[in-house]
Structure 1
Amino acid sequence: MDIWSSIVSYIEPKVDKNTLKLLKGIKETKLSENKFQIYAPDIVYKDWLESNFLKVIQKVAKNLTGKDLAVEVISQEEVDLRNEKSQIEKELPQDKLIRNINLNPKYTFSNLIIGNCNKIAYKAAIAVAENPGKIYNPLFIYGGIGLGKTHILHATAHYMLSKNPRANIIYTTADAFMSELIAYMQKGSILDFRRRYKNIDLLLIDDVQFLVGKERTQVEFYYIFNALHLIGKQVILSSDTPPSKLKGIQERLLSRFSSGLIVEVKPPDIDTKLSIIRKKASEMKMNLPHDVMLFIAKTVNTNIRELEGSLMKLKAYSEIMERQITLEMTREVLKDICEIKKLNHYQ
């Protein structure tokens, strides 16, 4: 059954020639048991199709198949990224995902939703994992809370282990680094502390903004950073602000932070948020209508954690009240977020 031709035929009397020509430009679609996928040439075409024809496509597809199909429009860029991530995941040995370095097994590149907000950080992290210590050293990733910086750090470690299972990696936060340093100092074994960080291939430090004002910790970190950098070992850092805005950190350390590549992770755009919502909803076994997903994407405009929290809240309400998730229910459940958004708008 050629569903797309039937859909175009249904739309044809309602549109002009230029629009019809664009619709006929779709060359590839895929129908599965519960999903109808449309492959668009690029992201602009995808946005146009979703904004103007998604509902009518869903309607005609349901009439033709007798099923309430989930309709997904996929751009060629997304296909390329999925293929790239799929190849990475194939190279990642599952038995080596967890090592005694505090890595989250879910934080891999295959689980990372990539969009314009984080694409540069993702590409840089891949390059670093494949060529540790040779390019982008250090790699400094900054951005607001809950935007996926920690995910990228963990995923880089996982990917590097897939390339070199014997790689010696340490992941820690600035707070944990400081606590560990204090513990070694109290035991009078600062040299043991330095030795612990001496023979590693990759050092990942999360939330380096918490080094602000910690003079003694900064001294030790500077020592370790220089020792690793001198022998060509990779360092990746994350922060909520770029190095230039980290007040209360020694100039010599800021100079080291800025000597490599600095990349920003930005809040996700609508398309990326929709992709995140689809993925999280699938993981949580939630059946969300497109208008509900679009409402959440447009309403929750803070960070990824807020998106996940909103979905969990909606799922809990639906299960407790034994009601199907609708747009009306979603507005009611997330009304506090809507009110905060209105307040911020007026302010």
Structure 2
Amino acid sequence: MSVTAQSVWNNCLEFIKDNIQPQAYKTWFEPIVAVKLTDNALSIQVPSKFFYEWLEEHYVKILKVALTKELGESAKLVYVIKMENTYGNKQPFTEKIPSSNRGAVKSQDVDIPFNNKSPELKNPFVIPGIRNVKIESQLNPNYSFENFLEGDSNRLARNAGLAVANKPGGTSFNPLLIFGGVGLGKTHLAHAIGVDIKDKYPEKTVLYISAEKFTQQYIDSVKKNNRNDFIHFYQLIDVLIIDDVQFLSGKSGTQDVFFHIFNHLHQNGKQVILTSDKAPVDMQDIEQRLLSRFKWGLSAELQNPDFETRVSILKNKLYRDGVEMPDDIIDYVAKNIKTNVRELEGAIISLIAQSSFNKKEITIGLAKDIVEKFVKNTKREVSIDYIQKVVSDYFQMDVDTLQSKTRKRHIVQARQLAMFFAKKFTKASLASIGSQIGKRDHATVLHACKTVDNLSSTDKQFRKYVEDLSKKLSL
């Protein structure tokens, strides 16, 4: 490394250190490495593209002043960014930043090595039914197994995904249905499987598509009178990934066409991967013949991550973005945001933003303020544990009694109400609800829900129970 580059950068750092908050300096400037100095252009290496964008958004003025002070008005700053998960090209790219022209920063002088790809058909339905067209997979390479952290909440689904990626169409996990609530990583895992298959089997045709887009394209094919071409196109796919398959509910035409596509792919040893916000047994307005096929393979549930997994997710996010944060603050965020991964990452980004915008050090106090606002502005998802407690308190019994094997009428009804509200207010599967409320099976939960519906319409006192509990749980 050039000594001149290091000495220039050290002088810049001294100036910057005197003009910003210590925590901001530690977070955003200590990780930077001076690389070289050529023709009045100082090259510095930053940990990630996110890191570079943050510097450009918040610290470009102070960087310009510091560098001009050292190298004069003609000074230039060149970022060397460690890019990860690019399309097979592992070389870093550079972005030259004109020191005098802020407006040019984002749009000019950017050399991103994504131009090594031959032109491909971006929309697979531009020319329906044509053979030998190279199909763009629609996969996001940033969603990988590497950054999908394993924990108790997702171990089965992740390991099944790895097995499918190693041997697509050759395992008993066909179809593989990944289901769970919002923000738990269903889409990430589906993409990761596809990306891994493309790496291992470049000759295979992999296609990711949302059920919503699939439906729209089917409707277009009917309008254009080329439904058979639409079906034929999908039958050419080796690995088909359909996201949010519950969107097919009530759409009989789309379900019918998907049934034929599914059968063809399955019979020919092709892999089908589906994601859904609920288990097959909980899906409504999906034809039985299709549901039965969803159950042929493996249905793997993604649950809310436990504390250790949440901490790992936050640390991994910070590491990928090249940001440091004290462990006690990471622990605090992980303890207080439990619902899903998306909200976790959103909270940590908000924390970094507030710290930088308001020039505040990242402290527990600031973390409390952010988390409190974040949780308040996020729609609360009632947990099954909370529902059991509210129902037990209402009927003046403890949770153990509610979960017990007793057949006493008032306890059975309380248990059935807990199951009913768990289905209504949570994204949990019937099997998951049953296991948490007295280790019952999904059939018991289904029976409980039907019983509550029937009693609500025939028994005035029971209807009052339902109304009272609904108010308590909706607060």
Q: TM over 0.5, yes or no?
A: yes
| Residue matched to 1:183 | 220
1:205 equivalent among 223, 237, 242: 242
| Residue matched to 1:273 | 310
The yes-or-no answer on 1:284 pairing with 2:321 is yes
Aligned to 2:290, what secondary structure does the other structure show?
Answer: helix
The amino acid that maps onto 2:313 is I
| Residue matched to 2:139 | 103
CA spacing shift, 1:129–1:291, aligned 2, 3 Å = same
1:264 equivalent among 301, 306, 314: 301
Kept in 1, the 8 Å contact 2:186–2:275? The answer is: yes
Cα shift readout 1:113-158 (whole Å, capped 9, x = no counterpart): 1111111111111111122112111111101111111111111111
Kept in 1, the 8 Å contact 2:280–2:294? The answer is: yes
Aligned to 2:331, what secondary structure does the other structure show?
Answer: helix
The yes-or-no answer on 1:244 pairing with 2:244 is no
Deviation at 1:281, TM superposition (A): 1.7
Kept in 1, the 8 Å contact 2:139–2:207? The answer is: no
CA spacing shift, 1:341–1:308, aligned 2, 3 Å = closer
Cα shift readout 1:44-81 (whole Å, capped 9, x = no counterpart): xxxxxxxxxxxxxxxxxxxxxxxxxxxxxxxxxxxxxx
Q: Judging by fraction of residues, say which structure has more helix.
A: 1
Deviation at 1:309, TM superposition (A): 0.8
Rounded Cα–Cα distance in structure 2 between residues aligned with 1:186 and 1:342 = 40
| Residue matched to 1:149 | 186
The yes-or-no answer on 1:119 pairing with 2:113 is no
Kept in 1, the 8 Å contact 2:243–2:274? The answer is: yes
Deviation at 1:340, TM superposition (A): 7.1
Rounded Cα–Cα distance in structure 1 between residues aligned with 2:197 and 2:286 = 30
| Residue matched to 1:13 | none
Rounded Cα–Cα distance in structure 1 between residues aligned with 2:239 and 2:228 = 20
Deviation at 1:233, TM superposition (A): 0.6
Cα shift readout 1:62-106 (whole Å, capped 9, x = no counterpart): xxxxxxxxxxxxxxxxxxxxxxxxxxx99x982599972211121
The yes-or-no answer on 1:130 pairing with 2:124 is no
Task: Say which is worse superposed, 279-288 or 253-262, in terms of deviation.
Answer: 279-288
Kept in 2, the 8 Å contact 1:170–1:204? The answer is: yes
The amino acid that maps onto 2:195 is H
Kept in 1, the 8 Å contact 2:174–2:297? The answer is: yes
Rounded Cα–Cα distance in structure 2 between residues aligned with 1:246 and 1:120 = 21
Q: When the two structures are superposed, what TM-score results if normalisation uses the length of structure 2?
A: 0.52
After the TM superposition, which parts of structure 1 deviate over 4 Å for at least 4 consecutive aligned residues? 95-99, 338-347
Kept in 1, the 8 Å contact 2:337–2:371? The answer is: no
The yes-or-no answer on 1:214 pairing with 2:251 is yes
CA spacing shift, 1:158–1:338, aligned 2, 3 Å = closer
Deviation at 1:285, TM superposition (A): 3.5
| Residue matched to 2:371 | 334
Rounded Cα–Cα distance in structure 2 between residues aligned with 1:108 and 1:208 = 21
| Residue matched to 1:316 | 353
Kept in 2, the 8 Å contact 1:208–1:239? The answer is: yes
Rounded Cα–Cα distance in structure 1 between residues aligned with 2:222 and 2:361 = 58
Kept in 2, the 8 Å contact 1:299–1:337? The answer is: no
Cα shift readout 1:209-260 (whole Å, capped 9, x = no counterpart): 1111111100000010001111111101110100000010000000000011
| Residue matched to 2:337 | 300
Kept in 2, the 8 Å contact 1:299–1:341? The answer is: no
Deviation at 1:337, TM superposition (A): 3.8
**Highest relative contact order (Cα 8 Å, sep 6+), 1 or 2?**
1
Deviation at 1:342, TM superposition (A): 12
> How large is the RMSD of aligned CA atoms in angstroms?
2.7
Aligned to 1:334, what secondary structure does the other structure show?
Answer: helix
Kept in 1, the 8 Å contact 2:209–2:242? The answer is: yes
Query: 5+ unaligned residues in a row in structure 1: which ranges?
Result: 1-32, 35-88
Rounded Cα–Cα distance in structure 1 between residues aligned with 2:369 and 2:210 = 38
Larger radius of gyration: 2
Rounded Cα–Cα distance in structure 1 between residues aligned with 2:321 and 2:295 = 40
Deviation at 1:284, TM superposition (A): 3.3
Identity of aligned residues (%): 40
Query: 5+ unaligned residues in a row in structure 2: which ranges?
Result: 1-29, 32-83, 91-113, 118-134, 387-471
